[in-house]
Amino acid sequence: MTVYLVGAGPGDPGLLTVRGAQLLRAADVVVHDRLVGRRVLDLAPPTARLVDVGKIAGSASPSQE
């Protein structure tokens, strides 16, 4: 299994790197927080599993235990 970390930047999919967009389009699983916009997540294939890890803007991060 290969894991890639792709930064979502300010949320505009047009501002992702070309490689980042390619990786999202080919992903089987996308682990994200709630700060990532829907338009970025929509780049993932419909068959990709989207896992929301729960960080919300202005809130404390959830425990990672």
Distance of alpha carbon 48 from alpha carbon 30, whole angstroms: 7
The pTM score is 0.79
Q: List the catalytic residue out of 12, 28, 33, 42.
A: 33
The mean pLDDT of 47-65, rounded to a whole number, is: 78
Reported confidence tier of residue 59, pLDDT bands at 50, 70, 90: confident
Q: Hey, how many other C-beta atoms are within 10 angstroms of the C-beta on 9?
A: 15
Q: Please write the tens of the pLDDT for every residue from 4-55.
A: 999 988 888 899 999 999 999 999 999 998 888 899 999 999 999 999 988 6
Distance of alpha carbon 44 from alpha carbon 11, whole angstroms: 14
33 is catalytic: yes
Q: List the catalytic residue out of 12, 28, 52, 55.
A: 55
- Residue 41's identity, in one-letter code, is L
Q: Hey, how many other C-beta atoms are within 10 angstroms of the C-beta on 6?
A: 19
